[in-house]
Amino acid sequence: MSFISTIDLRHHLDEQARSLLSNNENEAAARSEFVISKAADGSVVSRYKDDVWNMKMYDPAAVTIFSFSNWHHEDESELSLLISDEMKQIQLARLHLFPKLRKPRSLVMTPLYRIAKLAFKNALSIKELFNATNCNRLLIPSYSALSQHPMRDLLFLIKELFSISLLQPSFQLTLTEHNTIELMQNIYDRFPKAQRDKPQQTKLIPSRLYAEFIMALSTELDEFNKYGALICSFFEKRNTNHLFAVGTYRAACNKESISWPDAVKKIGLSSLFYKHSITDWNRLMHYVNEAQTAAQYWIHLFSGMRANEVRHLPADTYKKIISSGVEVSILDGYTSKYSGNNHTRTFWVTAPIVEKAIAAAHHAGTVCALRHNYSNTDLSQYPLFPNLIQKKPEAGYQAFSAAPVVCPSHKSRISRIIDRWPALKVQEADICELERFDGFRDWRNDPDVKISQFWPFATHQCRRSLAVYCARSRLVSLGTMALQFKQLTDAMASYYRRGSAFAVNFVKSDDANGWIDELEHERRVAQYFDYESDVINSTNILWGGEGNRIQNARDKGKPLIITTDRAETRRKFEKGEMVYKNGPIGGCTNLEPCEKISFTSVTACVFCEKSILDDDKSLKKIKHSINKLRREQALFTSDSPHKLQLDIEIDTICKELKKRGLLEKMENKNERD
């Protein structure tokens, strides 16, 4: 469910939040009953007065909570209660008064905790800490002592609160002087910043390691499945007899008990437990955890799913359907990338080989149900990967009614599996293959990739590697890949497949690196020629974020140097300092992949500071998009939040066009022109 659609009328709530955050003391009682979050059925989950705001229902990973009680370890006092209330006011303002809509998971509490602790330590409220004197005496010295990333997060929060205060003058939990923010920015600017063109794309798993990883996981899963039923039986006997499989010393003290070695031998698990040094229940749970993690990675390898999508698969996910007379294996589950919703029903095509992961996951799920007394009779309401350690919460939101899903972090578990397979260590040949694949990345100085050390496997690498090797095989089209990966645009699918032409066994000559350099150079030059044609030589009226900047300079008779000095502009393109890409409704100058386009904002380029639009081609595409939105409106009832959202988007776009004098021209455009 989306944050917008669940809390029915966002505009109404924002106005109510403004009123509740005023300085009027009479609002305190009303503020305490203000609804913060609701469940899917409309029931209230959290109110302002609660010490913990449960926001899991608005988070695809179902982990976000705002806690206002664990930031200090002292006894409750008048000051601590005051600071906690100030923290609530700040989070409420961040949720409802910030000019841009954001998901609650982005409103991290760590910098706010830091401010609260500093204020409490010095016997001040947060409001008192933010006055000029205390800010210079306490906040700035504490801020200056932070490392780069904590300093960045705190600076972002300070700027955010100041922006809110400008829009809502009654909100006073912010710095009183902008000069202080400028000083904090200058302090932060002393840290070296990463280059804008620094490679950040997920690593490709080299082909040898890719094959070895698949073989290792296959062996792990086959072994676990061989003994899976016996392991479940082992836990069943423990459930019916608490004296089953106890330590040797405890068994000697009670004649009714069965010692661990005797129990293991009786069930028939001696060889497995000896091989993996499983000598007690804790180590057995570690082994089951490892098998569950292996099953997760196996599904990543043979579906290309995101980590959160795998975590939220139901236990009855694996199905077979008939398509065009052919039996196809699919995984039925949920994605968080459609329609702004956290969980939208969908499916992924996979291979029958994924059955071994499903079987292992079911064994681990049975162990979890026995261990925590969960009901797994309704597999649609039981996760394929339940949390084996954590007990079922007594209250609060969870994606499946029967059990909580496994936690996102599994680094230690996959590391224990990898340690058993020396073939997963990086070799010189692997580095050479990566250099052939991406010659612009300094693989030999990558801190995560070292010869004779284990490859740093991560779930997203499975997704990236599947995209590259599928593209290299020439058996999977771009559109098919975008559909399988649940990506909103072909541009993102292309980004995942990037470099696939240079994957293993394609480039073999001694001049390979030079040829790759030349090919990349030509790609950048081609972007410059498009920019020259669409922008520099264009006689159309340019608008959009970057387009408006260029057009205003032209209208004033002082054109920007990037449109007059073509040699310099071409040099910037060749060095990668400028880019020009085709977007949904015009040109894009963003050096990074776009994060703004979604199915709920298909015309995000209209308001993007990186866009270059014109009064010809862009208007045709915008008209087509608006007509599409209007057709979508017919799918919803008149009082549907989705319809209201589409109304707002259409009206916002039309107002922007009208402001620029382009609305009438757009209406007169023929989409087929």
pLDDT of residue 510: 45
Whether 673 maps to a domain, the answer reads no
Other CB atoms within 10 A of residue 541 CB? 18
Tell which of 468, 483, 502 closes a domain: 502
528/595 same-domain check: yes
Identify whether residues 434 and 492 lie together within a single domain. yes
Domain that holds residue 555: 512-667
CA distances to 595, 622, 657 from 663, rounded to whole Å, are 27, 10, 5
Evaluate whether residue 76 is within a structural domain.
yes
What pLDDT score was predicted for residue 391?
59
Residue 416 has pLDDT above 60, yes or no: yes
Residue 614 belongs to some domain of the structure: yes
**What DSSP letter does each residue of 58-93 carry, written as one string?**
G-TTS--EEESSSS--SPP-HHHHHHHHHHHHHHHH
Strand (E) or helix (H) holding 216: helix 207-240
Give yes or no for residue 167 having a pLDDT over 50: yes
Query: Can you give the three-state secondary structure of 24-55, one letter per residue?
Result: CCCHHHHHHCCEEEECCCCCEEEECCCCEEEC
For residue 356, being part of any structural domain is answered with: no
pLDDT of residue 356: 95
Q: Which of 36-45, 424-433, 490-499, 554-563 has the lowest mean pLDDT?
A: 490-499
Question: What is the model's pLDDT at position 64?
Answer: 83
Is 362 within a domain? no
Predicted confidence (pLDDT) at residue 47 exceeds the cutoff of 90? no
* For residue 669, pLDDT beyond 80: no
Do 25 and 103 fall within a single domain?
Answer: yes
In this model, does residue 408 exceed pLDDT 70?
A: yes
Among 188, 217, 246, where does a domain finish? 188
487 and 530 in one domain? no
Instruction: Give the residue from 188, 217, 250 where a domain finishes.
Output: 188
Within 498-616, where are the H helices? Answer: 512-531, 545-555, 561-564, 566-575
45-59, 159-173, 329-343, 405-419: which range is least confident on average? 329-343
Q: Residues 621, 585: contact at Cβ < 8 Å? A: yes
Residue 487 has a pLDDT of 56
Using CA atoms, how far residue 336 sits from 8, 59, 108, 310, 410, in Å, is 20, 9, 20, 11, 21
Residues 543 and 579 in one domain: yes
pLDDT, mean over the chain? 81
% pLDDT > 90, the chain: 25
**Same domain for 148 and 8:** yes
In a domain, 233, yes or no: no
Tens of pLDDT, residues 586-621: 888 888 777 776 555 556 787 788 888 887 788 888
**Co-location of 524 and 488 in the same domain:** no
The residue count for the chain: 673
The DSSP element (H or E) to which 334 belongs, if any, is: strand 326-335
Q: Domain check: are 560 and 461 in the same one?
A: no
pTM recorded for the entire structure = 0.61
Q: Report the C-alpha gap between 309 and 331 in whole angstroms.
A: 11
Q: Are both 516 and 478 inside the same structural domain?
A: no
Cα–Cα distance, 58 to 4 (Å, whole number): 9
Is the pLDDT at 260 greater than 70? The verdict is yes
pLDDT in tens, 58-89: 877 777 889 998 888 878 888 989 999 899 98
Single out the residue of 488, 596, 617, 601 nearest to residue 547, CA to CA: 617
Rounded to an integer, what distance in angstroms lies between the CA atom of residue 255 and that of residue 258? 8
The secondary structure element, H or E, covering residue 474 is none
Whether residues 626 and 653 share a domain: the answer is yes
Question: Looking at the structure, do residues 154 and 115 belong to the same domain, yes or no?
Answer: yes
Tell me the C-alpha distance between 101 and 601, whole Å.
12
In a domain, 379, yes or no: no
In a domain, 449, yes or no: yes
**Do 7 and 138 fall into the same domain?**
yes
**What span, in angstroms and rounded, lies between the C-alpha atoms of 657 and 156?**
32
Number of domains in the chain: 3
Spatial CA neighbour of 205 closest among 475, 428, 431: 431
